C-alpha cells in the first residue's frame, strides 16, 4: 500500500517522497525489461498523451524515458504545422513518425490537437473539426488493425491546480520557457476546453482505442499510476538474459593513456 501524508490544508493526500523515488526506480527497471521485450518481439507501440496545459504530460513522459534507450522510446512533440503541412491530409504529419518494429513512439500531444486547441482557439473551421471527430475512430481502427499497440492517456487536473502551476512557471526562471502565448490565451478558456474535452472523449473513446484518464493534481501519484498502468497494458516477459560481466583489461605498462592537460584547453574547475 502506498504511503501518503496530508498537506497543510488537510485535503489532498500527497505521496511520500522516499516511497515515490523507490517505487519509481522499481517501475523504471520494469520499463527496461519492457524495452527488451519490444525489441525481441518487434512490437510497434504508440502512446498518446493529452491534457490541459500544465497537466504534467512532460513530467510523466520524462520519467518513462529517462532510463530507457532513445533508440527504442522516441518522443514526438511537433511544432505548429508549416504552410506545406497545412495543405496535406491532417494526420499525415503524425503518420510519418509512427513506429517501425521494435519501437515505442510517445506523442506529447497528437492528432487530437484538432479536437482541443485548434477547436477552442479557432485554428480550424467547424467543418474541419466535425470531419476530424467523425474520422478519428476509423483512423485509429486502421492503426490498431495494422498491428500497432495504441494507448491513449488524458491527464486531468482541477482549475485551481492549473492556476497554481501557471503562477509557478511565471515566477520560476527555470520554467518560464514552458509558457507560450497560446498557454496564456487558454487560461481564460477553461470551460471551453472542458466542453472540447468532453466531446472528444465521447467521440473517440472506443473499444479498439479507449481513453485512460489519469488524475494528475498530485504529480508523483500521476507518474507512478500512469507508468504502472502502461506496464500492465503490454504483456511482456523478462528477456534481458544473463547479467553482464566485465572481462579483464589488457595491461600495458609502457603507455600512459592519461591526457597531458598542459597541451590542451581545460574547462575551468569552478566547482
Per-residue pLDDT tens digits for 204-246: 999 999 999 999 999 999 999 999 999 999 999 999 988 888 8
Element (H, E) at 49: strand 44-51
- pLDDT class of 11 with cuts at 50, 70, 90: low
Q: What is the mean pLDDT of residues 62-82?
A: 97
Q: What is the mean pLDDT of residues 53-60?
A: 96
* pLDDT on residue 10: 42
Compute the distance between CA of residue 224 and CA of residue 69 in angstroms, rounded to an integer.
20
* pLDDT on residue 3: 55
Kindly report the pTM of this predicted structure: 0.90
pLDDT over 50 (residue 34): yes
- Residue among 87, 140, 148, 86 nearest 112 (CA): 140
pLDDT over 90 (residue 4): no
Q: Which is the CATH superfamily of the domain at 15-235?
A: P-loop containing nucleotide triphosphate hydrolases (3.40.50.300)
Domain boundaries, the chain: 15-235
Distances, alpha carbon 222 to alpha carbons 20, 154, 155, 156, 270, in Å: 11, 11, 8, 10, 38
* pLDDT on residue 57: 97
Compute the distance between CA of residue 256 and CA of residue 167 in angstroms, rounded to an integer.
55
pLDDT over 70 (residue 2): no
Burial of 32 (0-12, 13-18, 19+ CB in 10 A): middle
pLDDT > 90: what percent of the chain? 77
Distances, alpha carbon 37 to alpha carbons 17, 46, 146, 164, in Å: 30, 15, 19, 40
Alpha helices by DSSP H, the chain: 17-41, 57-65, 83-86, 92-95, 117-121, 126-145, 159-171, 181-186, 190-204, 219-233
- pLDDT class of 178 with cuts at 50, 70, 90: confident
Amino acid at each position: 500500500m502506498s504511503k501518503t501524508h496530508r498537506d497543510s490544508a488537510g485535503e489532498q493526500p500527497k505521496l511520500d517522497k522516499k516511497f515515490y523515488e523507490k517505487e519509481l526506480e522499481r517501475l523504471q527497471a520494469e520499463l527496461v525489461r519492457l524495452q527488451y521485450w519490444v525489441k525481441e518481439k518487434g512490437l510497434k507501440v504508440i502512446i498518446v498523451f493529452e491534457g490541459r496545459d500544465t497537466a504534467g504530460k512532460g513530467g510523466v513522459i520524462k520519467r518513462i524515458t529517462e532510463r530507457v534507450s532513445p533508440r527504442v522510446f522516441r518522443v514526438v512533440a511537433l511544432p505548429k504545422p508549416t504552410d506545406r503541412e497545412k495543405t496535406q491530409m491532417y494526420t499525415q504529419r503524425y503518420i510519418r513518425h509512427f513506429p517501425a518494429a521494435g519501437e515505442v513512439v510517445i506523442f506529447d500531444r497528437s492528432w487530437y490537437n484538432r479536437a482541443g486547441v485548434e477547436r477552442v482557439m479557432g485554428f480550424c473551421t467547424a467543418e474541419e473539426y466535425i470531419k476530424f471527430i467523425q474520422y478519428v475512430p476509423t483512423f485509429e481502427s486502421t492503426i490498431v488493425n495494422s498491428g500497432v499497440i495504441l494507448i491513449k492517456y488524458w491527464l486531468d487536473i482541477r482549475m485551481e491546480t492549473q492556476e497554481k502551476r501557471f503562477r509557478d512557471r511565471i515566477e520560476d526562471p527555470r520554467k518560464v520557457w514552458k509558457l507560450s502565448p497560446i498557454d496564456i490565451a487558454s487560461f481564460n478558456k477553461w470551460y471551453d476546453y472542458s466542453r472540447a474535452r468532453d466531446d472528444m472523449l465521447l467521440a473517440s473513446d472506443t473499444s479498439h482505442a479507449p481513453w485512460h484518464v489519469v488524475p494528475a493534481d498530485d504529480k508523483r501519484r500521476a507518474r507512478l499510476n500512469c507508468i504502472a498502468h502502461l506496464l500492465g497494458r503490454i504483456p511482456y516477459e523478462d528477456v534481458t538474459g544473463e547479467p553482464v560481466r566485465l572481462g579483464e583489461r589488457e595491461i600495458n605498462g609502457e603507455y600512459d593513456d592519461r591526457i597531458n592537460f598542459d597541451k590542451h584547453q581545460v574547462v575551468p574547475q569552478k566547482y
